[in-house]
Amino acid sequence: MVISSSIGAIASLFPEGVNATPQLLSQKGYYGEFGGRFTPEILHETLEAVTAAYQAARQDQAFWSEFTALLSNYSGRPTPLTYAEGLTRYLGGAKIFIKREDLNHTGSHKLNNGLGQMLLAKRMGKTRVIAETGAGQHGVATATLAAKFGLRCTIYMGAIDVERQYSNVFWMRKLGAEVVPVSSGTQTLKDAMNEALRDWSTHMDTTHYVIGTACGPHPFPEMVAWFQSVIGLEARSQILQQAGTLPAAVYACVGGGSNAIGIFSGFLDDTSVQLVGVEAGGLGINTPHHASRLAASDASVGIAQGYKTYFLQNQDGQMQDTHSVAAGLDYIGVSPLLAHLTQTDRINVKAATDTEVLEACQLCMSQEGLIPALESAHAFVQAFKDAPHYSSSDCIVINQSGRGDKDIFTIANAFGDTEWKAFLNNQVSSFQS
Amino acid sequence: MRTLSTPTPLERFIVEQRQQKDILLMSHTVLSYPSFQDNYCAIDALVKAGVELIELQFPFSEAIADGSLLLNANQSAIQTGTTIKDCLCFASEITQQYRQTQFIIMTYYNVVYHYGVKQFVQTAANSGITGLIIPDLPPEEAKTYVVTCNYHGIATIFLCTPNNSPKRLQRIAESTSGMIYCTARKGVTGHETQFSTEFNRYVESVRTSVQLPIGVGFGIQSQAAVSQLKGQVDIAIIGTQAVKLYVEQGVAALEVFMRNLRTG
């Protein structure tokens, strides 16, 4: 069976237009003890309406057909599964396959969820969408889709993130979105999410809040996982076709958890497949400067931003500062789905430090000519540690959740590239003359 | 079905006070903002102005139901290193000092959850607190909390909104005791509210579904607003405006403002 890029091929992978994995379905919004809906009463009816619309869409073949058709024609799905011959040879163990979410339109997996929610927003008759964004990828994806579908768009972004990811802010504004810098709290992703929730509390009649990851109040974790499940369904089909066997392990970076649950969902029922999530180890999980909620021992169960999960918080329940070189992983909470799967030992979660991430990124470029985003490079760190210990008859799959060349400012800065700095200085001088 | 058969001390207080006054006032402080000393001054002014019920907000870093003024107040408070234990100590002292005033703790669920729901409620009860408001805890998630509060006679003050259907109001009422907090409009704390005929219908709807004293808050900022509420509801809740006045104009201005709210 050859995976072609025709609409029929993708749609045929998903019988009745509904993802068959029951493990992605919550029990009234809960996955074990995690999830739920802890929001101010003003959002009650809105969340009920979103839940009803999502559940109706799940049963509607026409919705799924429209979704997959757009994924194909607008975004070029299915994304390839690339055999990384150079990296495989270099590491000398398992065959390494890379799922190319970087080749999605706007350069990451974010569009899968954005598109699904945009179609839902239109079904609900909304004329405006809002979103939070950290690194800016979800913001750019949402702004892109809002422009395509003719909806007004406001993106909330922490003021610190606006500074460090300004190139994404540029694109969002060019696409017609309003970008609102949020200066409360730590001025990063969680504060942007809080502000988006406040906006939604006032404007819910016209507005849908497109949460960008598998977090937030029910139904968002479940709904986001559903839209991102296209990654896992494709990947499973592709690896069987290309390698003739299931992978020994699948790797994904974990910020909020959407790309991880997306690819893991394809393999949840395959007990021989290890599922490995990799979080932001920052300056080291033994320091206070990281964003590891599941791998490190600093986090504890709490309730914030509408849901119950592991958060990095102090002894009073106040949320802590997090750090990562990768802004997209720099977040206090984690998907309740992943928290539950960690607790039931279905997934294993590791952490990668900033230094390890840059090394992995460099290795990808020099051995394979691939440029992963710094977020995605976290997954590569652990995969590269494990690969040599497998035999050449094994294969592993790494989710490249985004491409790095769109993040040139971030990556050049992270590498401390002196020629790049000189270039920037010249540019600034040229403006002043 | 309401499981609580006897009114809480808070409800008894409100009913008794309402026999003498056509509307009661509830106000707000964010603990340790700008400082605990300031909280003492502000509360003193509120009590002198005749305010019957005062919310003591325990700060939380992710205050999603609050507008920018109270949000910033929460964050300043946390930045000064205020702990929940500090707040509980303050609560204990303030209830001793002003025994005629009803003190209610308002905070977000994570603060209570992290402390331990049963321990938090017990400590609050021992500190002389008569009610709790937790805006991000919906009735569906509140079973242990409601049972524990009922046991201690602490009022579980849930919020209702203009978007609620009668069926939803009934569900909220089942978990509520003491009084019900009606938000006057959509959105978060701090922005002024314009009243309309829809508001009157909303209050009527609440009165039909909920057999408890009714407080209205969010955007109540003037004597005119309070006048409009007289005869319709039992308590006018002035939160953000009180915090703002104290910080911008000082304790005397706060007392005068609160005193004048009911003289219209």
Query: Is A201 close to B78, i.e. CB distance below 8 A?
Result: no
Instruction: Compute CA A375 distance to the chain's CA centroid, rounded to the nearest angstrom.
Output: 9
Main-chain dihedrals φ then ψ at residue A48, nearest 5 degrees: -65, -40
| pLDDT at A23 (0 to 100) | 81
User: Contact B53/B102 with Cβ under 8 angstroms?
Assistant: yes
Is A39 at the interface with chain B, CB within 8 A?
yes
User: Contact A18/A230 with Cβ under 8 angstroms?
Assistant: no
Query: Is A184 close to B163, i.e. CB distance below 8 A?
Result: no
Query: Is B161 close to A41, i.e. CB distance below 8 A?
Result: yes
User: Contact A400/A101 with Cβ under 8 angstroms?
Assistant: yes
**Nearest chain B Cα to A308, which residue?**
B110
Q: What is the ipTM of this complex?
A: 0.95
Residues B154-172 pLDDT 10s? 999 999 999 999 999 999 9
In this structure, the dihedral spanned by the alpha carbons of residues A36, A38, A39 and A43, taken in order and rounded to 10 degrees, is 40
Q: Which amino acid is at B197?
A: T
User: Contact A259/A228 with Cβ under 8 angstroms?
Assistant: yes
Query: Is B113 close to A300, i.e. CB distance below 8 A?
Result: no
Residues A296-334 pLDDT 10s? 999 999 999 999 999 999 999 999 999 999 989 999 999
Residues A165-207 pLDDT 10s? 899 999 999 999 999 999 998 898 999 999 999 999 999 999 9
Is A185 at the interface with chain B, CB within 8 A?
yes
Residues B208-250 pLDDT 10s? 999 999 999 988 889 999 999 999 999 999 999 999 999 999 9
Burial of A6 (C-beta count, 10 Å sphere; 0-12/13-18/19+): exposed
User: Contact A310/A319 with Cβ under 8 angstroms?
Assistant: no
**What's the N-to-C CA distance of chain A in angstroms?**
61
| pLDDT at B196 (0 to 100) | 78
Reading the block at residue B122, the tokens are: 């017990």
> Is A12 known to be catalytic?
no
Non-local CB neighbours of A318 within 8 Å, separated by 6+ positions:
B59, B60, B61, B78
Q: How is domain B9-257 classified at the architecture level of CATH?
A: Alpha-Beta Barrel (3.20)
Provide the CATH topology of domain A81-106+229-413.
Rossmann fold (3.40.50)
Nearest to A44 among B65, B72, B138 (CB): B138
Query: Model's pTM, two decimal places?
Result: 0.95
Across-strand partners of B236? B25, B216
From A75, A101, A108, A110, active-site residue: A110
Measured between beta carbons, the chain B residues lying within 8 angstroms of A197 are 64
Reading the block at residue A345, the tokens are: 């030992």
CA distance B159 to chain A (A): 6
- The number of residues in chain A equals 433
> Is B204 known to be catalytic?
no
What does the alpha-carbon distance between residue B225 and residue B217 come to, in Å, rounded to a whole number?
10
Is A91 at the interface with chain B, CB within 8 A?
no
Give the residue among B5, B28, B10, B23 at the shortest CA–CA distance from B190.
B28
Query: Is B62 close to A319, i.e. CB distance below 8 A?
Result: yes
Q: Taking phi first (over 0 means left), then psi (-120 to 50 degrees means alpha), and beta for anything else, what does residue A321 get?
A: beta
CA distance B87 to chain A (A): 11
Burial of A305 (C-beta count, 10 Å sphere; 0-12/13-18/19+): buried
Residues A399-417 pLDDT 10s? 999 999 988 988 999 999 9
| pLDDT at A13 (0 to 100) | 52
Going from N- to C-terminal start, the domains of chain B cover: 9-257
From B11, B52, B55, B234, active-site residue: B55
Non-local CB neighbours of A44 within 8 Å, separated by 6+ positions:
B138, B161, B163, B164, B168
Is A317 at the interface with chain B, CB within 8 A?
yes
Main-chain dihedrals φ then ψ at residue A119, nearest 5 degrees: -65, -35
Measured between beta carbons, the chain B residues lying within 8 angstroms of A40 are 64-65, 135-136, 159, 188
Owner of token pair 């760190």: A381
In this structure, the dihedral spanned by the alpha carbons of residues A165, A170, A176 and A182, taken in order and rounded to 10 degrees, is 40
**Nearest chain A Cα to B114, which residue?**
A317
Query: Is B138 close to A37, i.e. CB distance below 8 A?
Result: yes
CA distance A194 to chain B (A): 5
Q: Residue A7 in 3-state DSSP?
A: helix
Is A304 at the interface with chain B, CB within 8 A?
yes
What does the alpha-carbon distance between residue A11 and residue A7 come to, in Å, rounded to a whole number?
6
Going from N- to C-terminal start, the domains of chain A cover: 32-76+109-221, 81-106+229-413
pLDDT at A20 over 70: no
Task: Give the helix, strand, coil percentages of chain A, each rounded to 5.
Answer: 50, 20, 35
From A101, A132, A195, A234, active-site residue: A132
Q: How is domain A32-76+109-221 classified at the architecture level of CATH?
A: 3-Layer(aba) Sandwich (3.40)
